[in-house]
Amino acid sequence: MARSLPAPRWAMLLSLVVLLGCIVVPGFAVKHKDFKTCEQSGFCKRNRAYADNASSQGASWSSPYELDPATVHFKDGVLTGVISKTTTANEKVRLPLTVSFLESGAARIVVDEEKRMKGDIEMRHGSQANKKRYDETEKWTIVGGLEVSKSATLNAQSETGFTNILYGPDYKFQAIVRHSPFGVEFQRDGQTHVQLNHRGFLNMEHWRPKVDGKDGESSEDESTWWEETFGGNTDSKPRGPESIALDITFPGYSHVFGIPEHADSLSLKETRGGPGNHENPYRLYNSDVFEYELESPMTLYGAIPLMQAHRKNSTVGVFWLNAAETWIDIVKSTASSNPLALGAGSKTDTATHWMSESGQIDLFVFLGPSPNDISKTYGELTGYTQLPQQFAIGYHQCRWNYVTDEDVKEVNAKFDKYQIPYDVIWLDLEYTDDRKYFTWDPLTFPDPKGMQQKLDETERKLVVLIDPHIKNADKYFVSEELRSKNLAVLNKDGEIYDGWCWPGSSNWVDCFNPAAHAWWATLHKFDKFKGSLQNLFIWNDMNEPSVFNGPDMTMPKDNLHYGNWEHRDVHNVNGLTLLNATYKAMLERKKGEVRRPFILTRSYYAGAQRVSAMWTGDNQATWDHLGASIPMVLTNGIAGFPFAGADVGGFFHNPDKDLLTRWYQAGIWYPFFRAHAHIDTRRREPYLISEPHRSYIAQAIRLRYQLMPAWYTAFHEASVNGTPIVRPQYYMFPEDEQGFAIDDQLYLASTGLLVKPVVQKNTHSAEVYISDDEKYYDYFDFTVYQGAGKKHTVPAPEDKVPVLIQGGHIIPRKDRPRRSTGLMRWDPYTLVITLDKDSEAQGSLYVDDGETFDYERGAYIHRHFNYRESVLSSEDIGTKGPKTAEYLKTMAGVTVERVVIVDPPVEWKAKDTVVVIEDGAKLASTASLEFYEQESGKASYAVVKKPNVGIGKNWRIEF
Amino acid sequence: MRLPQSLLLLAAAGSAAQASSDKPVRPRGLDPEFAKFYQDSTTFTCISNPSVKIPFSAVNDDYCDCPDGSDEPGTSACAHISRNSPLTVADRPGNSDLDTALALPGFYCKNKGHRPSYVPFQRVNDGICDYEECCDGSDEWARVGGIKCEDRCKEIGKQWRKQEEQNQKSMTAALRKKKDLLIDAGRQQQEIEDHIAALEAEVHGAELKEQNLEADLKLAQEQDRKVVRTGKGKGKGKVSALANLAKGRVDELRNALVDVRRQRDEARERVKELEDILAKVKVEYNPNFNDEGVKRAVRSYEDYAAREQGTEDANGAVDRDLDEIAKADSEENGINWEHWENEEDGCNDLDLVYKFAAYLPPSLVSFIEDRVISVKSYLEEKGILPKADEDSSSESKAVTQARDALKTAQDSVTSLKNKLRDQRADLEQDYGPGSIFRALKGVCITQDAGEYTYEHCFLESTKQNQRKGSNSVSMGKFSNVGTTTVEEVNTAGEVVNVEKMTIEYNRGQSCWNGPNRSTKVILECGEENKILKTAEEEKCVYSMLVTSPAACAGGEAGNDAPRSKDEL
């Protein structure tokens, strides 16, 4: 301490507070030194320096990349050409360019390096690694949407030095390709929305041989070109420097979203320092980050390089298809012609800088114009979220660990005893025999089948952990087969890679190898995974992959995968390859018994939504982590992977009753709703919590189950058009600038439900932002909130999570509490209707068997509910298939038992019946209607008793 | 409001139902006990909310009309009426302030051939045959999804009766055993009481003896003082000779000191090195990796680090002193032996000591005063130096003998008193009703569960023994007998609190990142002493469900322990 001032009293108090704080919360924190900063990551450092150099030169900087006009060729929606890079040594490097204009309205820009493509390079250290830039990320990620637009056309009015392509719906889109320096501007309706290489940061590190003792000749800093050491591990970098980078600017856009996974706000922050900004770029390098910190650009377990930029009434996006380590810098600049007119007249540009360690430049550009459009187009490429089995949307009870099969059965019984519904119980690591997957500990789980049968009695499921690290042990059939069949990941010398994970010395299955998929499928078969039954599903954890003794807690980058691709090339997609293998394995467990697989993953990449659900990894039992879970789940949703959730209760440490209760009240709004806890925490199954909190938690869980029809419908919607299941404010109201940064409240799909979970201690009300001038009704007591563009105070006593229903919706519910979702199948529906300003309301419902793929052959019910001019009707919006009739027959007994109309016309006071007309019925019937007034401030409501209309039928109720 | 129910009532109501069979058909799922509310065949009045009246046709119409659900005894339509449900105003129209509770205990299954029972409303017509509660399958009367629950009451009832008979037998046996235990406990209690009486007498005798011996000693000492003793040292030793001897001795001690310091420094360095290693482990280990060994090591290290702080004594001043001492003696340093070797005789021992001190440098004098004794005793303790001979007594043999005899007597009194105290404490200890656990003390029972064998030794300890290895972990030492409240489900499917006897054990082996292990043994009535289940309720807090005849109700002859057999 340099200052010699006497320590004032407050300083002592402060240190006391700090000390006490340390006692309350054990001093765990993320181990920063285990994970790289940009400065410690050679290519990030180099590209930032490159950008700084370009910026500092200002207008005099010229990007050394030129598109040779002679090579430019446009045919059938595809533009090709060769970009020529002039090196510092004044050599020319040929970089083939392909720009495809897709039927969906997306454009794809691919840049590669000719020399590497041809394999015309020398590898250092005699490495066997593939010489090419990795071009197979697409293989794991893209499943469609690549149809090239035949109608895209050259714009005859291109200026000299430019090639302009008109494309998209009604030729509203235009790509302006500038030849020198190379750059592309994307316009919609004549306005520029996305600019590539606008700032001249485009950089593709060409191949060059290592020249020793050539000091002084080059001005470039070669210190990170040939070798990098981190965490005691030296990366041999056999191909030398090979990074790619590109600046992408969104002019006039002040918000960018997406690029999960980070524990940060929904609206991404600037990353080049300054107050409230990050110092490091957002990093995407799937890692097992222990005790991760919040409000950080630090990488986490998964990566989806999809970014949305949003401004009033316009959303555009980019998808950076690269599986190598990636860093993204974000800066925003506000320009204003009149410096005094900051605010209203000012225009903010958001400029981003994408840097990847290796691979091609492969970029998709989406021009919107709505967030929905981005979700849909991106989903066409990478696939929509899978329609899960119904149980997967129920409540999942997990803990590290339920210790015996008897323990599992007892937890199961306790839920019934306390009448709290749940669908799935989970087994973490310790069920295995000595951490060998596909085995059971013979002492603690002597009767796995009996346990699963018990669960099956109430249609409940078991999920067990299966990780990609295979214990390196003799007499362990999985390990023996992995090695003898040569299906493991290799080290740089081509030997089976050996690292440390849960079982100690382990090998990793290499799911880039098709043969590994076939083998992985055999392991999951009922006769091989002995003791597993049909109601067992899989949790793939540690698939970043997590390696306890590896750099960045993962594999060395020079490890080799199938096809001799270096781990550096494929790292971020590694987790997904395992999921693909498991998904296929789950389909093939037994012939003729195909059920939709359920897999939970920690690591993911674009495309993982097709096969899995994700959770936000090892969070902590703190209010901050509860709060952070909302933007994290929302971000995943807009990045096309909506089946997401955080560990309810917090993984590490013990939540107190208040926190746990609030976490359940928030967690029921995660699409993936699972409670989980670390092995060192106290047991916290909901029934163990003392009253009144037990009831509060039970109410929250039952609320989730009550809304199950709405949830399932939301999942269905996501599975056919990619829309998020829970949606952020800007997504719902793209025109309301005040709402763009709001990330602490959410909407459940298009149900009209607006939720603001309480995430602060001792807080008993919530400020809910309402964007429009519709009436919003409190879900529980129909209190009316109205007033656009401002926050409304909604009471939130401890037993209540603030939920509002926007006017204009019809929400399907099932109000009878059951033990599991499966047992709700035959229950009747309640429809809750809130009328909008025009006295209208809409809603939809999707129902199927919740298990099989029969829905693909028409075995489902899809209804659109419409309330208009005092008539409520249900119409079929499904498409008939061979199994439709049969399914409808099984559902014939399922009806609507109740219709609740919130805020009905006052004239209904005089009404006591409504007319019910069902298709196929000979005569119209009536049902009774009761009108209930409430005190002022709360809406009156009317209840139709037992209209008894079939859920699968066309019908009308006339009021 | 809820109406009381019990098995007895149920049975009685069951027979009443038959008697009233000519009356209008009782609504489905209704307990005959409640039939009186359903007599009016035109209007139904909700049981807990008499202001709400509905046409009787709305009873069991699969739609919930009553805020207390009493209109739907036979369907699941009112199953949501519960404090566990997220109710909205529309779920209790006009009654939004009412407490939400069902008036009926559940769907009543007649279970002909077995005994009637309730199944919770939420299980009615959910497609699952809940035979445990409803052996007649009547809970699935609507056959949703085509489910058909056949009547299994005949076989289930038969089994149940057989089981019940066995239970009765077992209960009788248990009570018999309990009686024996009580007798045994009473006998043991009596033995202790007897023992206490005997000990009290013994203490009294020993104290008398002690007093006598004290007097003897006094006498001997007085006689001793009368004898004039000549000094034993003749004072003939020459200073120079002494100096010679002393010099040798001092050198020897110095060498020993230097040696010990070296060893100490080496040991310190090694400790430092080890501490550094452990500190590094503590910082760098991955707590996420659940390796018990590492966790335990880190935990122990943390305890160690906390304990060792403060006793750190790398004291520079002491070391400087030691440096000074370690130097060889010379004119400038330490003792000038030459001077002493040439000293004339003629002073007595006492002078010698003062003189000796006068020739020492002041730093050494204070050092000797302060440190020599502690260093010496340290070295002795560590066995580095042999213990010096006890000062030979200048007492007479008689006094010594008297003193020894007194000491022995005193020891004996103390020991007897301790025994007495222990016995009295034992007598006051709560051994449960009728001191029954006295009879079970030290009885050990075990249960294999998963990778462990759990062991419960009544009123002594609980343990977790690894089945694969030989590792045994203490889950607690006996603390007290008590009671606890356990939540159980009654016949209506409601959660109710039941009081159970417990034996608690704590101060077991400490846990990594947690408390010392403790176990709450919850007792249930049973014929055998048996562990039914052991669970870790939270980190290192165990519960053990144990049956024992000692936990059965009845059999005590009042609060006091029964007298011993002989007296019966």
Q: Is A505 on the interface with B (CB under 8 A)?
A: no
Q: Is A30 on the interface with B (CB under 8 A)?
A: no
Q: Is A546 on the interface with B (CB under 8 A)?
A: no
Find, in chain B, the residue whose alpha carbon is nearest to that of A456: B128
Q: Is A804 on the interface with B (CB under 8 A)?
A: no
Token pair recorded at residue A59? 């207008």
Q: How far apart are CA A572 and CA A574, in angstroms?
A: 6
Token pair recorded at residue A572? 């971020």
Stronger pLDDT, A854 or B311, i.e. the higher one: A854
The maximal CA–CA distance of chain A, rounded, in angstroms, is 97
Q: Which of residues 493-532 of B touch A (CB under 8 A)?
A: 493, 495, 512-514
State the pLDDT at residue B233.
43
Dihedral of CA B180/B185/B188/B189: which sign? negative
Find, in chain A, the residue whose alpha carbon is nearest to that of B536: A683
CATH class of B433-566: mainly beta
Check CB contact under 8 Å for B451 and A441.
yes
Q: How far is B132 from chain A (nearest CA, A)?
A: 12
Check CB contact under 8 Å for B85 and A699.
yes
Phi and psi torsions of A235, nearest 5°? -90, 120
Burial pattern A328-361, b for ≥16 Cβ within 10 A else e, equals: bbbbbeeeeeeeeeeeeeeebbbbbbbbbbbbbb
User: Which amino acid, one-letter code, is at B192?
Assistant: I
Domain A828-959 belongs in CATH node 2.60.40.1180: yes
Q: Which of residues 450-489 of B touch A (CB under 8 A)?
A: 450-451, 467-468, 489
B382-417 pLDDT tens trace? 555 555 444 445 677 888 888 888 899 899 999 999
* 3-state secondary structure at position A643: coil
State the pLDDT at residue A828.
98
State the pLDDT at residue B304.
81
State the pLDDT at residue A7.
40
Mutate to test the interface with A, among B66, B71, B78, B88 (most CBs of A within 10 A): B88
Q: Using CB atoms, pick whichever of A400, A548, A818 lies closest to residue B122.
A: A818
Q: Is A816 on the interface with B (CB under 8 A)?
A: yes
Give Cα A555 to chain centroid, integer Å: 24
A105: left (phi over 0), alpha (psi -120 to 50) or beta: left
Q: How far is B535 from chain A (nearest CA, A)?
A: 8
Q: Is A933 on the interface with B (CB under 8 A)?
A: no
Candidates 3.90.226.10, 2.60.40.1760, 3.40.462.20, 2.60.120.650; CATH matching A42-209+223-335+345-382: 2.60.40.1760
Q: How far apart are CA A826 and CA A850, in angstroms?
A: 12
Shared fold status for A42-209+223-335+345-382 and A828-959: yes
Residues of A in contact with B127 (CB under 8 A): 822-823, 825-826
Check CB contact under 8 Å for A945 and B450.
no
Q: Which of residues 705-724 of A touch B (CB under 8 A)?
A: 706
Mutate to test the interface with A, among B85, B144, B468, B531 (most CBs of A within 10 A): B85
Check CB contact under 8 Å for A817 and B288.
no
Check CB contact under 8 Å for B84 and A930.
no
Which among A555, A55, A498 has a CA at the least distance from the CA of A285? A555
State the pLDDT at residue A718.
98
Q: Is B311 on the interface with A (CB under 8 A)?
A: no
Helical residues (DSSP H) of A764-852, grouped into ranges: none
C-beta of residue A888 within 8 angstroms of C-beta of residue A952: yes
Q: How far is B536 from chain A (nearest CA, A)?
A: 9
Q: Is the ipTM of this complex over 0.85?
A: yes
Total beta-carbon pairs less than 8 A apart between chain A and chain B: 135
Q: Is A886 on the interface with B (CB under 8 A)?
A: no
Catalytic-role residue among A247, A349, A544, A569: A544
Q: How far apart are CA A830 and CA A52, in angstroms?
A: 61
* Domain spans in chain A, listed from the N-terminal domain onward: 42-209+223-335+345-382, 466-614, 828-959
Burial class of residue B75 (count of CB atoms within 10 Å of its CB; 0-12, 13-18, 19+): buried
B245-270 pLDDT tens trace? 788 788 888 888 888 888 888 888 88
DSSP secondary structure, B281-292, as one string: HHHHS-TTS--H
Residues of B in contact with A429 (CB under 8 A): 290
Check CB contact under 8 Å for B467 and A782.
no
Q: How far apart are CA A959 and CA A791, in angstroms?
A: 35
Q: How far is A204 from chain B (nearest CA, A)?
A: 38
What lies within 8 Å, CB to CB, of A31 at 6+ separation is A290, A291
Q: Is A477 on the interface with B (CB under 8 A)?
A: no
Mutate to test the interface with B, among A419, A833, A895, A951 (most CBs of B within 10 A): A419
Check CB contact under 8 Å for B63 and A945.
yes
Three-state secondary structure string covering A487-531: CECECCCCCECCEEECCEEEEEECCCCHHHHHHHHHHHCCCCCCC
C-beta of residue A30 within 8 angstroms of C-beta of residue A298: yes
Residues of A in contact with B539 (CB under 8 A): 680-682
Phi and psi torsions of A361, nearest 5°? -85, 120
Residues of A in contact with B90 (CB under 8 A): 782, 832, 900, 932, 941, 943
Check CB contact under 8 Å for A826 and B127.
yes
| A541 a catalytic residue | yes
Which residues is B520 bridged to in the sheet?
B504, B543
State the pLDDT at residue A2.
37
Q: Is A492 on the interface with B (CB under 8 A)?
A: no
Residues of A in contact with B96 (CB under 8 A): 781
Find, in chain B, the residue whose alpha carbon is nearest to that of A291: B288
Pairing of strands A162-167, A153-154: antiparallel
Q: Using CB atoms, pick whichever of A407, A780, A825 lies closest to residue B88.
A: A780
State the pLDDT at residue B14.
39
Check CB contact under 8 Å for B88 and A781.
yes
Pairing of strands A282-284, A233-235: unpaired
Find, in chain A, the residue whose alpha carbon is nearest to that of B467: A443
B337-363 pLDDT tens trace? 666 666 555 445 445 545 555 556 555
User: Which amino acid, one-letter code, is at A465?
Assistant: L
Q: Is B125 on the interface with A (CB under 8 A)?
A: yes
Check CB contact under 8 Å for A826 and B144.
yes
State the pLDDT at residue A19.
39
Which among A613, A618, A645 has a CA at the least distance from the CA of A629? A645
Q: How far is A84 from chain B (nearest CA, A)?
A: 49
State the pLDDT at residue A633.
98
Which residues is A93 bridged to in the sheet?
A85
Q: Is B91 on the interface with A (CB under 8 A)?
A: yes
For residue B279, pLDDT over 90 is answered with no
* Domain spans in chain B, listed from the N-terminal domain onward: 1-151, 239-381, 433-566
Mean pLDDT of B165-169: 93
Check CB contact under 8 Å for A681 and B93.
no
Q: How far apart are CA A50 and CA A219, in angstroms?
A: 12
Which among A845, A941, A955 has a CA at the least distance from the CA of A899? A941
Q: How far apart are CA A480 and CA B170, in angstroms?
A: 53
Q: Which residues of chain A have pLDDT under 70?
A: 1-30, 213-219, 336-345
Which residues is A811 bridged to in the sheet?
A832
For residue A710, what are the CA distances in angstroms to A614, A715, A946, B138? Answer: 21, 9, 20, 32
| A618 a catalytic residue | yes
Q: Tell me how long chain B is.
A: 568
C-beta of residue A542 within 8 angstroms of C-beta of residue A469: yes
* 3-state secondary structure at position A614: strand
State the pLDDT at residue A214.
58
Burial class of residue B29 (count of CB atoms within 10 Å of its CB; 0-12, 13-18, 19+): buried
CATH-assigned architecture of domain A466-614: Alpha-Beta Barrel (3.20)
B433-487 pLDDT tens trace? 888 999 999 999 999 887 889 999 999 999 999 887 788 999 999 999 999 998 8
Burial class of residue A866 (count of CB atoms within 10 Å of its CB; 0-12, 13-18, 19+): middle
Which residues is A496 bridged to in the sheet?
A490
State the pLDDT at residue A686.
97
State the pLDDT at residue B230.
43
> Is the peptide bond between A545 and the residue preceding it cis, with omega within 30 degrees of 0?
yes
For residue B435, what are the CA distances in angstroms to A338, A398, B185, B522, B560? Answer: 93, 44, 6, 17, 8
Q: Is B354 on the interface with A (CB under 8 A)?
A: no
What lies within 8 Å, CB to CB, of A57 at 6+ separation is none
Neighbours of A514 (CB within 10 A): 10
For residue B235, pLDDT over 90 is answered with no
State the pLDDT at residue A28.
54
